Amino acid sequence: MTRAAIGANYTPRRGWFHSWGAFEPGPVSEDLAQIAELGLDHVRIFPLWPILQPNRTLISTAAVDDVLTVVDLAGRHGLRISVDLLQGHLSSYDFLPAWISTWHRRNMFTDEGVVAAQAQLARVLGGELASRENVTGMTLGNEIGQFAVSYHPDPHPVTSEQATAWTRDLLAVVDEVLPGRRSHHSFDDTLWFKDDHPFTPSDAVHLGASTTVHSWVFTGAAQALGADHPGLPLFGRYLIEVAALWQRLLGAPADRRIWLQEIGAPVPWVDPARGAEFAEASIRAAVGNPLVEAVTWWCSHDVHRDLGDFPEVEYSLGLFDAQGRTKPIGEAVGRLARELASGADLSAPTASAPEPLQIHGLALDGSNRSILGPRGDIFRLWATEALEGTVRPLAAAETSPDLAARGVEHNASPSAPSNQH
């Protein structure tokens, strides 16, 4: 297996993602140089959809050029880069173009005009990125499936069949214009744990170049175990094992890789004084699974306090503070990245070839996937054993018949996470 890579989700220090509206290459170059100097080898970037495509039939040439400038700056600093297409959703804020909102309300997943516009944006942006060798691929959007979840305040309803078709078809466009790269779609962990989510584990493990996982302990693990519990750094690894379970159950290729695309140390569930310890334990646990191809930390730089109304957690997630100073957590992640690049084995010692933890009655359509959730007994048992040194893979003792056809709403509807990232 190729060694895992360690990188960062790039959050511009000056102006956060609002900086796409008044782009300045100088500060971006400074930020990317810091990330590279820390020892990380890749970044993921998030152009804002309303800026790239302010009208359904207008793609901003200037905005596309700004994206290409960031890509070239990353390459100049020796960084590989993944570019998100539809932004979408970032740090509790939704960024949707005006032409699918209010008086022009259209469903982003099912409206033919919207879907055609998204495909055209993919063709234009992907076509430009194809000439940049440091581009590893594109991701359709950041947790864009959360717009379809039942508790979203302004949802874009979609059936499971429609969700699969939307993802498959848009990825096909990206792969056509950006061939030979590794492109993805991404989702928060409700896809793995919310019974009525129209995006399903099947979408996660069959579509895209690899399976992506986003690990946030505030979605249930911290509430189940308690703040600063020693089991919290293991939640990312648990999600990896959940993804690997679904890959096996649903017949994905045995060598399909898993990208831990987001993981962070959120306050107050993780004491800032223990952030470096949390990061080190999380990364060591994650790369202990040989399917993991990359760990991409959220995020590079803290949100500046001059920007208002963010959830408190967003102001302190960076490897660097809002003034650009390396934080202890940044030093820890950088040290691990350099060790990994040197060929060191970062994985924590575990019992050799532990017996799988058997799961009973899991429905293959995902309609009772909540039994694997972080508030449930399976996670608690897995975490307890992992803390004792036995990190067990998950296996289905038997699977139940599908409880409902895809696209049919289910009764189980777990509450929304305490914070939307």
What are the DSSP E strand ranges found in 190-342?
211-215, 258-263, 292-297
DSSP track, 24-86: -HHHHHHHHHHHHHHT--EEEE---HHHH-SBTTB--HHHHHHHHHHHHHHHHTT-EEEEEEE
Torsion sign (Cα): 159, 161, 162, 167: positive
Domain membership of residue 350 (yes or no) is yes
pLDDT attached to residue 412: 34
Span 335-351, mean pLDDT?
Answer: 82
Count the Cβ atoms, other than its own, within 10 Å of residue 230: 14
Q: Does residue 153 register a pLDDT over 70?
A: yes
Domain membership of residue 409 (yes or no) is no
C-alpha–C-alpha distance, residues 56 and 117, integer Å: 6
Domain membership of residue 407 (yes or no) is no
Task: Read off the pLDDT of residues 410-421 as tens digits, 9 standing for 90 and up.
Answer: 333 334 454 556
Domain membership of residue 419 (yes or no) is no
Torsion of CA 171, 153, 19, 76, to 10 degrees: -30
What are the DSSP E strand ranges found in 306-393?
357-363
**Listed residue (53, 207, 178) closest to 116, CA to CA:** 53
Domain membership of residue 412 (yes or no) is no
Confidence of residue 297 (pLDDT cuts 50, 70, 90): very high
Count the Cβ atoms, other than its own, within 10 Å of residue 19: 17
Task: Read off the pLDDT of residues 84-96 as tens digits, 9 standing for 90 and up.
Answer: 999 989 999 999 9
DSSP 220: T
- Counting Cβ atoms within 10 Å, is residue 239 exposed (0-12), middle (13-18) or buried (19+)? buried
The CATH number linked to 347 is 3.20.20.80
Q: Which H or E run contains 357? A: strand 357-363
pLDDT > 90 fraction of the chain, expressed in percent and rounded: 89
**Listed residue (387, 395, 381) closest to 351, CA to CA:** 387
Task: Read off the pLDDT of residues 230-247 as tens digits, 9 standing for 90 and up.
Answer: 999 999 999 999 999 999
How is the chain split among helix, strand and coil, in percent rounded to 5?
Answer: 40, 15, 45
Tell me the whole-structure pTM to 2 decimals.
0.94
pLDDT attached to residue 406: 32
C-alpha–C-alpha distance, residues 270 and 292, integer Å: 24
Span 146-172, mean pLDDT?
Answer: 96
C-alpha–C-alpha distance, residues 64 and 67, integer Å: 5
Domain membership of residue 9 (yes or no) is yes
C-alpha–C-alpha distance, residues 79 and 71, integer Å: 9
Place of tokens 């803390």: 387
pLDDT attached to residue 345: 83
Q: Which H or E run contains 379? A: helix 377-387
C-alpha–C-alpha distance, residues 276 and 335, integer Å: 11
C-alpha–C-alpha distance, residues 393 and 357, integer Å: 6
Question: Alpha helices, DSSP H only, in 53-154?
Answer: 61-76, 112-129
Q: What is the largest CA-CA distance in the chain?
A: 59
Q: Does residue 125 register a pLDDT over 70?
A: yes
pLDDT > 70 fraction of the chain, expressed in percent and rounded: 93
pLDDT attached to residue 349: 64
Torsion of CA 134, 139, 142, 146, to 10 degrees: -170
**Listed residue (261, 263, 215) closest to 242, CA to CA:** 215
C-alpha–C-alpha distance, residues 251 and 248, integer Å: 5
Confirm if 234 and 387 have CB atoms less than 8 A apart: yes
Q: How many domains does one find in the chain?
A: 1
Task: Read off the pLDDT of residues 24-77 as tens digits, 9 standing for 90 and up.
Answer: 999 999 999 999 999 999 999 999 999 999 999 999 999 999 999 999 999 999
Q: Which residues contact 285 (CB under 8 A, 6 or more apart)?
A: 233, 234, 236, 237, 347, 348, 386, 391
DSSP 3-state assignment of 162?
A: helix
Confidence of residue 401 (pLDDT cuts 50, 70, 90): low
C-alpha–C-alpha distance, residues 47 and 18, integer Å: 9
From the centroid of its chain, how far is CA 69?
24
Domain membership of residue 336 (yes or no) is yes
Q: Which H or E run contains 239? A: helix 235-249
Residue-range definition of the domain harbouring residue 277: 5-400
Domain membership of residue 225 (yes or no) is yes
